[in-house]
Structure 1
Amino acid sequence: MSIASAIQLSLSGLRATQAGLDIVSQNVANAGTVGYTRRTLATEALVAGGRTVGVDVKGASRTLDTLVQRQLRLEQAGAAYASTRASVHTTLDRVFDRPGGVGSLPTLLSTFTGKLAALANNPSSSVSQSEILAAASDLAGSLNALSDQVQAMRQDTEDAIGAAVSKADGLLKRIADLNGRIVGHNTAALQDQRDALVDQLSTLIDVKATISATGAVSLSTTGGLTLVNGTVATGLGFEAHNIGPASRYDSDPALRGVGTITATDATGAKRDVIASGLIRSGEIAAHLDIRDTVLVQAQTQLDELAAGLASALSDKTIAGTAATSGAQSGFDLDLGALQAGNRITVSVTDPGGATRNLVFARTDSAAATAAAGEAGLIGIDFSGGFASVASQIQTALGGAYTVSNPSGSTIRLLNNGATSSVDAASATATVSGLSTGDPELPLFVDGPTGALYTGSFEGSSQLAGLAGRIAVNQAVKNAPSALTSYGPSVPAGDATRPLLLFDRLTKTERSFAGAAGIGGSASPWSGSVVGFASAVIATQASEANSAANLDAGQQVVLNAIQGRYAEQAGVDIDTELTQLIQLQTAYGANARLLTAAREMMDTLLRIAG
């Protein structure tokens, strides 16, 4: 090896060690910088003419495991999803059952039923009558306030979706812009900036990243939505609505009462992200679940409780009377007292032994009939008269039964006389007056106008948002004695009505819609109104506990994967100091070689001179 080659090699080594020292200093300086990835020097032997003539410095490369990074981003999305849901469930639990129980639903309902029991023991007490009305007002007011709080949370969630979508849209544009800067200038610093943006995005959306040969990153969701392709970003948009208890998501814009997320690609084509299920995790997915499921279910629980309070006290049962025609047998049922929304229940055993329990709802229009069907009931349009009512029930029961209108408002339901049977038939009718001779009492009504709650579907579902409107009947407030007196012939001090009201709330079983999610969303929950209120509180507590446990478990997983990622991509000061010592040694050796080569060169020059 010539002296000139030795000098060239030494200089090359010095340049490489200087570059290494620069990288070590960057690593040490940024040891605590969030998003900084540890650099290492990329070098290779410089070869010319089959001989090694130096070392070629390729630049800095980042030390990270892309598989661990991909898993980290998915876990970040999962953690954001779990944390967002846990926060809302915790808030709901506190809203429904206040700490200490003061003013909570169970406490107010217990106070109300206790006042009814006290009046039953002393029916003539005007003090007890006043206390019942005060307790009823407190209970209705609590339901109003809870409904308002749930709807405020739902509106806040709607607005949060808009803010998160706007943030995600901005991140996508910045990532696409960095892609353009990185291609052809693939620096570690720009890659760190881009990774930091992708990490932010991964808390909002479940995102997958793929790096191309040019260094550009392509992003998509696990549901298949392309987010970034090279320097082109998909546009994400959201238009928030002012939503109410009846507002629901629907893929049909004409029926949709809440906002949806729209993705616009480079050609201008738009897709409904929610309808296609393109976002499955992250903060945005959690907000969608909260808005469209969690809070809707919470409102339904309140509405079902309000409906149970009103109906339990005001609805009377109309029992069917036995009827026969030759070998056929069944029941006659007078439907004249039914109002829009009141129910008819028929139990039958079909040929072959299968049993059915059919629940019909009175409607007065085709639109209301369809709405009743969407609520899981069989709508019967009464606008065509009772012969038409009989025909519609006949269609629902089938040919193994005979349904007719023998007279007036009576419907006759008969079996086929041999292989089928009509096991039971009854209806409920809402009592409208205070002194009709019926002990039932419309103590709770729908809104300050005093409209009776009948479960109507005319115009819209009366159930939706009832908790926010329920009020004490002003007519009863004006005549507190109606709490005991239900007719002209009722003797003073009669306890029949307060006893019935107490039993209806504490003992009588009712069915509450499966949409309330009590005991499972697939089937109705049966029990007393008091029992349903307790079940609502227990369900909210259970949901909050489950969400908190899921959040805690997800955080453990996230912390573990963050630790694995940090071990590879993070800066360890001890490692850098060890690297520094090695570089110092290499620098000293290269400098010594260069000095020796120069001394030899000087000696040769003196000899030649």
Structure 2
Amino acid sequence: MGLDGALATAGTGIDAIQTQLALISQNVANAGTPSYATEVAAQEAVTAGGTGMGVRLLPATRLVDTTLQATLLGQNASTAGAQTTATALSAINAVQGTPGAGNDLPSLLAGVTTAFTTLAGDPSSAASQQAVVTAAQTLANGINSISQSYQQQRQTAQDGVVSAVAAINTDLGTIGTLSDQIINLKSLGQSTADLENQRDKAVASLSSLVSVRTLAQPNGDMLVIAGGGLMLPTHATNPLTTSGAQLGAAATYPESIPAITLGGTDVTGALTGGSLGADLTLRDRTLPTYQAELDEFSAQLSNRFAAQGLSLFTRGDGSLPASTGPYTQSGYVGYAGQITVNPAVAASPSLVRDGNLAIAGSPTGASAFTPNPAGGPAAFGTLISRVLDYALGSDAQAGVAQPATPTTGLGPSGTLAAPYAAPPDLTGLASTMIASQSADSAAATAQASSEASVQTTLSSRLASEDGVNMDQELAAMTQLQNAYGANARVISAVQSMFTTLLTAITPVMG
């Protein structure tokens, strides 16, 4: 090898070092970038005819623990889903009040009991009669507020579904665009490390929206598969589609709530996990079940009072809830959002003493009752006793148990069920229902915290194994600086030799 060969060889060293320094710069700059994996470039000797011709770098690749990366993707979905659920249920729990603080449902019901107990001491007291109406309206308002919180969170979940689908399509489009570029560069033998890091960032974003797994293809493409086995489109012109909707208490999927479709096919059931999966569960199962439970409590409240001769809790038009279809709650789905004090009673508070319904009586239900007529005894206490002993108690009349409160076949389609056995009295029913829902909220909050902790641990492990190690990068930079200086000295020495040679031959040439 002559001087020109030595110069060329040293030049390849300089080129390789410059490329490696660029990689180090890229790594250091992205030391805190989520989903960024350290980029490295292996080098190999170049020979021609058995003679060394320097060094060259292979296309840069990434250091990736694919197993740990896949585990983190799954954990991203679990964490996002748990947080979505906890946020929704915590908002509901706040509206339900603090047990024993006077603003929770059992306490509001106790307020009605207390008002009737006071009235029993002096049935003629107009102030006590009005106090019963006020306590009843406070209870109805509390029920309305809880029902409204269910519907608000259900609407939030529906809006979240629409937003998540749009975000999923954006991430899938990004993955597809980057995959196309990776396929092209890979076919040219060029590095795709930067693009793969960008693609992994999009995949990480996607994994918080819905459970996914990925399959890297030999040509550089990437397949994205939803948790339910659905192949998600990254190159398709037909993305996932859905539409917004304003949900009422009776709205159900797929009857009246828009599906998520792909190419015209309903794929809602194949999209699980992540914030989308949690919103679907909240929208279609959890919150409708809560609504059904409260609707049933409200119906029991109204009908048990009415059965004793006082239509106190009704709709705004004075009507009582009744099943009018094939399912338990057909005809009164959403009743908890409508319940109020009967306008007739609000206008004439003395009806809480006298009653406003004549009861024929039944051996399996309440006994017979005749309301106190106009001008009747001011100390009439029969109705008040029936309310305290039976409407608010476990029996419909002495020795006859209250009809069982339905806990299955609930909701608009009769497919929902409460997770508890209903106590026979209204206070027990209210306490059991609220305790069950509060327990759900507490469990969701604990689950969200646990999932976040696991996610943090996995993220730290992945960053430790695949992420940028600043100490290693700086050590490598020092080595490259030394190597750069050595190659530069070789070039300087060769240039000096060329100068000496040219100086020596110049007189001869002259």
**TM-score > 0.5 by shorter chain:** yes
Alignment of 1:247-396 (within 5 A): 247-250=251-254, 256-264=255-263, 270-274=264-268, 277-315=269-307
Are 2:244 and 1:240 equivalent residues in the alignment?
yes
Q: Give the SS at the match of 2:249.
A: coil
1:464–1:534 CA distance, 2 compared to 1 (3 A): same
Alignment of 1:53-68 (within 5 A): 53-68=53-68
Kindly state the Cα deviation for residue 594 of structure 1 after the two structures are TM-superposed.
3.3
Q: Deviations over 1:470-527 (max 9, x none)?
A: 122233334433333344688552433212212321444553332579xx84674233
1-structure distance, mates of 2:320, 2:225: 53
Q: Deviations over 1:329-363 (max 9, x none)?
A: xxxxxxxxxxxxxxxxxxxxxxxxxxxxxxxxxxx
Kindly state the Cα deviation for residue 139 of structure 1 after the two structures are TM-superposed.
1.3
2:165 and 2:240 in contact (8 A); partners too: yes
1:526–1:216 CA distance, 2 compared to 1 (3 A): same
Are 2:456 and 1:559 equivalent residues in the alignment?
yes
Kindly state the Cα deviation for residue 453 of structure 1 after the two structures are TM-superposed.
2.6
Which among 313, 316, 321 is matched to residue 448 of structure 1? 316
Kindly state the Cα deviation for residue 161 of structure 1 after the two structures are TM-superposed.
1.0
2-structure distance, mates of 1:233, 1:297: 38
Are 2:387 and 1:501 equivalent residues in the alignment?
yes
1:492–1:212 CA distance, 2 compared to 1 (3 A): same
1-structure distance, mates of 2:348, 2:299: 23
1-structure distance, mates of 2:194, 2:372: 90
Kindly state the Cα deviation for residue 467 of structure 1 after the two structures are TM-superposed.
0.8
- For 1:424, the equivalent position in structure 2 comes to none
Alignment of 1:121-136 (within 5 A): 121-136=121-136
Kindly state the Cα deviation for residue 9 of structure 1 after the two structures are TM-superposed.
2.4
- For 2:224, the equivalent position in structure 1 comes to 219
2-structure distance, mates of 1:203, 1:98: 33
Kindly state the Cα deviation for residue 214 of structure 1 after the two structures are TM-superposed.
1.6
1-structure distance, mates of 2:118, 2:227: 61
2-structure distance, mates of 1:510, 1:51: 99
Kindly state the Cα deviation for residue 140 of structure 1 after the two structures are TM-superposed.
1.4
1:449–1:135 CA distance, 2 compared to 1 (3 A): same
Bigger mean CA offset, 195-204 vs 179-188: 179-188
1:22–1:477 CA distance, 2 compared to 1 (3 A): closer
1-structure distance, mates of 2:52, 2:238: 49
Q: Give the SS at the match of 1:284.
A: helix
1:510 and 1:529 in contact (8 A); partners too: no
- For 1:338, the equivalent position in structure 2 comes to none
Q: Deviations over 1:266-310 (max 9, x none)?
A: xxxx22112xx2112011101101111121122112211211111
1:227 and 1:234 in contact (8 A); partners too: no
Kindly state the Cα deviation for residue 117 of structure 1 after the two structures are TM-superposed.
1.4
2:100 and 2:107 in contact (8 A); partners too: no
Tell me the amino acid that sits aligned with residue 263 of structure 1.
L
Kindly state the Cα deviation for residue 258 of structure 1 after the two structures are TM-superposed.
1.4
Tell me the amino acid that sits aligned with residue 227 of structure 1.
L
1:116 and 1:132 in contact (8 A); partners too: yes
Kindly state the Cα deviation for residue 87 of structure 1 after the two structures are TM-superposed.
0.5
2-structure distance, mates of 1:487, 1:67: 75
1:522–1:30 CA distance, 2 compared to 1 (3 A): closer
1-structure distance, mates of 2:351, 2:36: 76
Kindly state the Cα deviation for residue 221 of structure 1 after the two structures are TM-superposed.
0.6
Kindly state the Cα deviation for residue 98 of structure 1 after the two structures are TM-superposed.
5.2
Q: Deviations over 1:444-471 (max 9, x none)?
A: 22x2211133333389812201111112
1:172 and 1:234 in contact (8 A); partners too: no
- For 2:24, the equivalent position in structure 1 comes to 24
Kindly state the Cα deviation for residue 172 of structure 1 after the two structures are TM-superposed.
1.5
**Higher helix share goes to which structure?**
2
Q: Give the SS at the match of 2:271.
A: coil
Kindly state the Cα deviation for residue 606 of structure 1 after the two structures are TM-superposed.
6.2
Are 2:482 and 1:482 equivalent residues in the alignment?
no
> What runs of 5+ residues in structure 2 fail to find an aligned partner?
187-191, 355-369, 396-401, 412-416
Q: Give the SS at the match of 2:41.
A: strand
Kindly state the Cα deviation for residue 143 of structure 1 after the two structures are TM-superposed.
1.7
Q: Give the SS at the match of 1:120.
A: helix
Are 2:207 and 1:196 equivalent residues in the alignment?
no
2-structure distance, mates of 1:514, 1:189: 57
Q: Give the SS at the match of 2:60.
A: strand
1:511 and 1:524 in contact (8 A); partners too: no
Q: Give the SS at the match of 1:593.
A: helix
2-structure distance, mates of 1:168, 1:113: 52
Kindly state the Cα deviation for residue 572 of structure 1 after the two structures are TM-superposed.
2.6
Are 2:407 and 1:514 equivalent residues in the alignment?
yes
Bigger mean CA offset, 477-486 vs 77-86: 477-486
What's the % identity of the aligned pairs? 33
Alignment of 1:25-104 (within 5 A): 25-97=25-97, 101-104=101-104
Count of matched residue pairs: 470
- For 1:533, the equivalent position in structure 2 comes to 430
Tell me the amino acid that sits aligned with residue 10 of structure 1.
A
2:289 and 2:418 in contact (8 A); partners too: no
1-structure distance, mates of 2:170, 2:489: 54
2-structure distance, mates of 1:570, 1:234: 35
1-structure distance, mates of 2:287, 2:496: 84
2:38 and 2:467 in contact (8 A); partners too: yes
Which among 457, 465, 468 is matched to residue 325 of structure 2? 457
> What runs of 5+ residues in structure 1 fail to find an aligned partner?
251-255, 265-269, 316-438
1:18–1:477 CA distance, 2 compared to 1 (3 A): closer
Tell me the amino acid that sits aligned with residue 514 of structure 1.
T
2-structure distance, mates of 1:168, 1:496: 64
2:182 and 2:221 in contact (8 A); partners too: yes
Kindly state the Cα deviation for residue 83 of structure 1 after the two structures are TM-superposed.
0.5
2:324 and 2:330 in contact (8 A); partners too: yes
1-structure distance, mates of 2:350, 2:26: 85
Q: Deviations over 1:246-268 (max 9, x none)?
A: 11113xxxxx121211112xxxx
Bigger mean CA offset, 520-529 vs 20-29: 520-529
1:220–1:449 CA distance, 2 compared to 1 (3 A): same
1:172 and 1:233 in contact (8 A); partners too: no
1:309 and 1:444 in contact (8 A); partners too: yes
- For 2:362, the equivalent position in structure 1 comes to none
Kindly state the Cα deviation for residue 571 of structure 1 after the two structures are TM-superposed.
2.1
**Higher strand share goes to which structure?**
1
2-structure distance, mates of 1:140, 1:58: 74
Tell me the amino acid that sits aligned with residue 321 of structure 2.
Y
1-structure distance, mates of 2:495, 2:385: 114
2-structure distance, mates of 1:477, 1:211: 69
Tell me the amino acid that sits aligned with residue 405 of structure 2.
F
1:41 and 1:60 in contact (8 A); partners too: yes
2:210 and 2:226 in contact (8 A); partners too: yes
1-structure distance, mates of 2:405, 2:371: 31
Kindly state the Cα deviation for residue 30 of structure 1 after the two structures are TM-superposed.
3.1
Tell me the amino acid that sits aligned with residue 289 of structure 2.
Q
Kindly state the Cα deviation for residue 4 of structure 1 after the two structures are TM-superposed.
4.3
1:522–1:86 CA distance, 2 compared to 1 (3 A): closer
2-structure distance, mates of 1:452, 1:584: 86
2-structure distance, mates of 1:180, 1:598: 46
